[in-house]
Chain A
């Protein structure tokens, strides 16, 4: 099979990135957009060709290609090697196809921006880094892509660097994900010790399966990798960077949320699911954190008033669903939801970008309103994306993927140590509540923005270049889910068969009311949203913002404040204490104290003993003072002390 296509797949966006970067100022905006779209487009075509080739081969077929050995030394070796199996095939399809649609949209959206060359250089580099990440067959090679994705997100979030707020947001995203990178590196080092010097994914998983790593080691490695995934995918407790990442241009947000950045964590855990399956406590932790994040994200989205922030929090919430599925061991469901989420979240972001652009950069949903009359096409697109996000039954893609997650969560069961168990139904209940809240917040947004009184006037029209991707994404997010259905509806399992053809999921028969509940929750949410915000005389327009609970949640600053008090302030306090030089003062102060105290005590008896004691304490004080003098800040004196220490050490070595 033609393995040479895999490097070309990565090289195309990379070359486009280089060309656009070098041609800044030499090429017009149209040319730059065309080069970028061509780069991503060619790789989309190649990924489709590769998928067809892979699917026509044997069911367990894997395309392997080793470009060159990176480093080989005794005890460790790493290659620049790529691998295409069915999981990475799904990922490259999502990354390149959704990425292409976003690029086409961005070519029109960013047309008048002076930094368009820089923008497209970063965007195509982003796609290339993500392709490296999902195709790597060596975990160290994956780490290159992991870092590249982080770098590109930093560059793109801070794209409009004139505003200090944007650079602050970019730095925040960088720091937050950096913590995860450190954790990932720790996890990789642990795994290297198990495999004896190779980080090939196949070798690592085989070593783990053969028991070359102690159970505690497996737990530690899985925990480290989980922390990395949590940071990259903006889950609790790292969720604060994603809403701030809205500072970048809207196509960037779409790319980060739909195709590239945040899905990396989900992909990493799905790729290493065999490792995680052996670390039950970590799996339970993943599931619980996912469930908490999905509820927290949905609740926060419910009280936001910024259109893009609502979508950002909804991404966090939906990623919580994926982590819940990963924790419950149904990684196929997580990847399925990843795919449908990429479709509808890209659609929602791109539509929101078009709306904001035409509404004179107004992002507050309460100032928008009645847009259904002025932009009917965008309304249809947004409603399609919103229904898919809410998972309205039967007609949307989101319904099927969410249903798959819910049924998987229901049958999950964790045997933790010491007789502690955690079973699926409570998690299922949380997920169902999350589904209800999802429908509630997104249709709140829909009703406020598109119905009701007309707000800010609309201007211009959406260009054709922007409508084409929106149309494609509409179709995908409505119909992209019918390849996998619950048994109760139709025993159709194309997707899970595609991912894991050898091990067919054990389709335990589940009661029909599970599916009914999963279908009912979004409808209930839609109904409540209609009653609250949709009717001609809405019950309430705005949730009161001054309530002490809601205010920090709305701004999303609650967590930031917590971090500020928990991590930043102690450091500042330490620095302040060090500046005061407590130790020096303590030494001299103690000497002074003892001196005065002894002077008081022995004042009555001015005999020899008393004088001796006073002299002794005075000497202590002088000694403290002399010790302080050593720290005179002169570098030559410090060098002299080092040399003196060398003398003393050598003397000890000689004399002993």
Chain B
């Protein structure tokens, strides 16, 4: 494992841990962006540059901006920060920590090291992904479009309802 890969992986995990321990929402969002950027680097090292680009553009770009906007609308302040501190007492970490550790340990135990032929070096390009996406999986694309439409309608409805009452 290269040093760069190790760096990217550790930044990813540390960033994720920082996300779930922050008290201020904006800090968490920034750490999440760092996590996603490091994850994009991991994806590039796996030869999936197309997925990495999407990760940066859509995830770290669009979805995180959505988070930032909503946090701005929520107008969080000092009281929220202190309340978070109150909620995040060490005792609260006990149960979830144990549970997550068990899951992690079990998953690691289940993982069998692969000993197959060395993977091909040729990266998978956007061309391959496009051919596969609009060839074998075109029905999936239609279904995802349904999902996006449903999400659009429901998000619109929830927002509109709020405007109607005030």
A residues near B (Cβ < 8 Å) are 71-74, 76, 640, 643-644, 646-647, 650-651, 653-654
Contact = CB atoms under 8 A, between A and B. Distances in A.
Nearest to A644: B99
Given A72-B138, A646-B103, A650-B106, 9 more contacts: A71-B138, A71-B139, A73-B138, A643-B100, A644-B99, A647-B102, A650-B103, A650-B107, A653-B110
Q: Mostly helix, strand, loop or mixed at chain B's interface? A: helix
A646 to B, nearest CB: 6
B106 A647 contact: yes
A72 to B, nearest CB: 7
B139 A650 contact: no
Given A650-B106, A654-B110, A74 B136 contact: yes
A650 B136 contact: no
B99 A647 contact: yes
A73 B139 contact: yes
B110 A650 contact: yes
A354 to B, nearest CB: 41
B135 A651 contact: no
A76 B110 CA distance: 38
A76 B103 contact: no
26 contacts: A71-B138, A71-B139, A72-B135, A73-B135, A73-B137, A73-B138, A74-B136, A76-B139, A640-B95, A640-B96, A640-B99, A643-B99, A643-B100, A643-B103, A644-B99, A646-B103, A647-B99, A647-B102, A647-B103, A650-B106, A650-B107, A650-B110, A651-B106, A653-B110, A654-B109, A654-B110
Contacts of A71: 138-139, 142
Nearest to B135: A73
Closest 9 CB pairs of A and B: A650-B106, A71-B138, A643-B99, A647-B102, A73-B136, A73-B138, A654-B109, A647-B103, A646-B103
A203 B136 CA distance: 22
Interface of B: 95-96, 99-100, 102-103, 106-107, 109-110, 135-139, 142
Contacts of A653: 110
A72 B109 CA distance: 42
A653 B103 CA distance: 13
A74 B138 CA distance: 10
A48 to B, nearest CB: 37
Contacts of A650: 103, 106-107, 110
Contacts of B142: 71
Contacts of B110: 650, 653-654
Nearest to A651: B106
Nearest to B99: A643
A364 B136 CA distance: 60
A146 to B, nearest CB: 17
Contacts of A643: 99-100, 103
B124 to A, nearest CB: 20
A72 B100 CA distance: 44
Nearest to A646: B103
Contacts of A73: 135-139
Nearest to A76: B139
Nearest to B95: A640
A640 B99 CA distance: 8
A640 B100 CA distance: 10
Contacts of B136: 73-74
Nearest to B107: A650
Residue with the highest number of chain B CB atoms closer than 10 Å, among A72, A73, A653: A73
Contacts of A76: 139
Contacts of A651: 106
Contacts of A644: 99
Contacts of B137: 73
Nearest to B134: A71
Contacts of B102: 647
A550 B125 CA distance: 73
B106 to A, nearest CB: 4
A371 B96 CA distance: 82
Nearest to A647: B102
A77 to B, nearest CB: 10
Contacts of A74: 136
A489 to B, nearest CB: 54
A654 B142 CA distance: 38
A591 B119 CA distance: 61
A651 B136 CA distance: 36
A58 to B, nearest CB: 37
A70 to B, nearest CB: 9
A72 B95 CA distance: 50
A339 to B, nearest CB: 37
Nearest to B106: A650
A629 to B, nearest CB: 16
Nearest to A71: B138
B143 to A, nearest CB: 12
Contacts of B100: 643
Nearest to A636: B96
A651 B99 CA distance: 13
B38 to A, nearest CB: 25
A71 B110 CA distance: 40
B93 to A, nearest CB: 13
Contacts of A640: 95-96, 99
A199 to B, nearest CB: 14
Nearest to B142: A71
A647 B110 CA distance: 12
A71 B142 CA distance: 10
A641 B159 CA distance: 31
B153 to A, nearest CB: 15
A73 B99 CA distance: 43
A456 B142 CA distance: 57
A650 B102 CA distance: 10
A651 B135 CA distance: 39
A73 B131 CA distance: 11
A647 B138 CA distance: 35
A646 B106 CA distance: 10
A73 B106 CA distance: 39
A183 to B, nearest CB: 20
A613 B137 CA distance: 62
A147 to B, nearest CB: 13
A654 B112 CA distance: 11
A650 B103 CA distance: 8
B70 to A, nearest CB: 19
A343 to B, nearest CB: 40
Nearest to A70: B138
B97 to A, nearest CB: 12
A282 to B, nearest CB: 30
A636 to B, nearest CB: 9
B135 to A, nearest CB: 6
Contacts of B106: 647, 650-651, 654
A197 to B, nearest CB: 12
A643 B96 CA distance: 9
A646 B104 CA distance: 11
A74 B135 CA distance: 8
A286 to B, nearest CB: 33
A136 B142 CA distance: 21
